[in-house]
Amino acid sequence: PYWDEFNEEVAADDLVSHWNVEVKVGPYFPEVDSEFNLSGDAVGPFEETFGSSANLMTVVVLDRFFAFPSGQLGVSASLGFNKQYANAFELDGSGNVMTGADGKLQRSSGDRTKFRLFPTSIGAVYRFTRLDDDYNIPIIPYARASLAYYLWYFTDPSGDVSEAPTASCMNPGAPGSDCSGNKARGGTLGYQGSLGIAVRAERIDPTAEVSLRTQMGIEHAGFFAEIQLANVDGFGSDSKLAVGDTTWFGGINFEF
């Protein structure tokens, strides 16, 4: 290969990765119903509407490293997206949910209500790279701790932001209603942390490793898996929607 013809020495600092980009996916189900004192087999309003199945969350992470104490220490930022959806409940002319002969709430066959979540975070990251740097074992344990802010909103079947009843507007979604309730949208502050293991997969093929570095400027590329705890409930506030979850993610990353 053409790069074997170059004999110039590469400075050690040139081989240090200062950036890391990750794309990861995992199951996510926001803990909205944790705000209610449910007992036994009782189901909260969020689960009653959207069911109990988790949907995929997609997250993009960007790390910037400033120090290298046996690894990579720096700051981390992330942005993600998650959506829950279900067929909407049928309403009668007064705006009340209709109940079938079996006692269950009736749902529309064509209309859907949706919940959208946009998790953001900023914090610190440390990746222990010494196993690979000194012993050629391409395993990178890592940890993150971040301040989180999750934006969210609900939409009705028309695609508009849903409205919650108020004392002066008990049925804002009823046909012919001329009043407005509280918009079902907002943001919740909290914190999140994760522990994971990454594998520098390019070590498996030395030719691919050199090609990535010389042609694309990528020092390392691989895959990873992690567990994440997100406690996002306004730090215990009763007036904030709890949208955290304990879950796992898997994905790919690139260091450059």
pLDDT value at 137 more than 80? yes
Average pLDDT over residues 87-94: 73
Radius of gyration of the chain from its Cα atoms, rounded to whole angstroms:
24
How does pLDDT run across 4-30, given as a tens digit for each residue? 554 444 444 456 889 999 999 999 999
In this prediction, residue 167 carries a pLDDT of 77
In this prediction, residue 212 carries a pLDDT of 73
- How far apart CA 125 and CA 102 sit, in angstroms, is 53
Share of the chain above pLDDT 90, in %: 52
pLDDT value at 138 more than 80? yes
CB atoms within 10 A of CB 172: 20
In this prediction, residue 176 carries a pLDDT of 66
In this prediction, residue 12 carries a pLDDT of 44
- Mean pLDDT score across all residues of the chain: 86
In this prediction, residue 95 carries a pLDDT of 63
Structure tokens, 112: 């859907």
pTM of the model: 0.86
CB atoms within 10 A of CB 175: 10
In this prediction, residue 76 carries a pLDDT of 98
How does pLDDT run across 24-76, given as a tens digit for each residue? 999 999 999 988 877 777 888 899 888 889 999 999 999 999 999 999 999 99
pLDDT value at 1 more than 70? no
Share of the chain above pLDDT 70, in %: 86
How does pLDDT run across 188-221, given as a tens digit for each residue? 999 999 999 999 988 887 776 666 777 777 888 9
In this prediction, residue 174 carries a pLDDT of 66
